[in-house]
Chain A
Amino acid sequence: MSAVVEFEEVVAVAGSFPVLTGLDLRVDQGEVVLLRGENGAGKTSFLRACAGLISVSSGDAHVLGFDMRVDRRAPRRYIGLLGHENNLYRDLWVREHVEFRATAAGAAESDTDAALIRVGVSKKLWTVPIGSLSAGQRRKVAIASLVVGRPRLWLLDEPHASLDTESRENLDLILAEASQLGATIIFASHESPLTKGIASRVITMGGGRVLEDSGAS
Chain B
Amino acid sequence: MLAETLLVARKDLRVEWRAKIALGQVAPLALLILVVLAFALDANSSLLELGAGGLYWVAVLYGGTLLIQRSFDVETDDGNMDAFRMSAIGAPSLFLGKSLALFVQIGLLELVLGSGIAVLYNVRVADWWLLLVAAAAGTVAFSVCGVLWGAMSAGLRVRATLLPLLLVPVLVPILLAGSRAFETALGVRADAGWTWASLMLVIAAVHTAIGFGAFGFLLEEG
A residues contacting B by CB (< 8 A) are 51, 53, 73, 76-77, 79, 81, 83-93, 96, 100-101, 103-106, 129, 149
Contact = CB atoms under 8 A, between A and B. Distances in A.
Nearest to A77: B88
B88 A91 contact: no
In this complex, the interface size class of chain B, counting residues with CB under 8 Å from chain A, is 20 to 34
Contact of A89 (B7, B74, B87, B216): B74
A105 B16 CA distance: 22
A93 B19 CA distance: 11
Contacts, number: 63
Main SS of chain A's interface residues?
Answer: loop
Contacts of A101: 83
Interface of B: 4, 7, 11, 14-16, 18-19, 74, 77-80, 82-83, 85-89, 216, 220
Main SS of chain B's interface residues?
Answer: helix
Contacts of B85: 53, 76
A84 B79 CA distance: 8
A53 B82 contact: yes
Given A73-B216, A91-B19, A129-B18, A104 B89 contact: yes
Given A92-B14, A93-B18, A96-B14, A85 B88 contact: no
A73 B7 contact: no
Contacts of B14: 92, 96
Given A76-B88, A81-B86, A91 B7 contact: no
B15 A91 contact: yes
B220 A83 contact: no
Contacts of B220: 73
Given A91-B18, A91-B19, A129-B18, A104 B82 contact: no
24 contacts: A53-B86, A73-B216, A73-B220, A76-B88, A81-B82, A81-B83, A87-B80, A87-B82, A88-B80, A89-B11, A89-B80, A90-B77, A90-B78, A91-B18, A91-B19, A92-B15, A93-B18, A96-B14, A100-B7, A104-B7, A104-B89, A106-B88, A129-B18, A149-B88
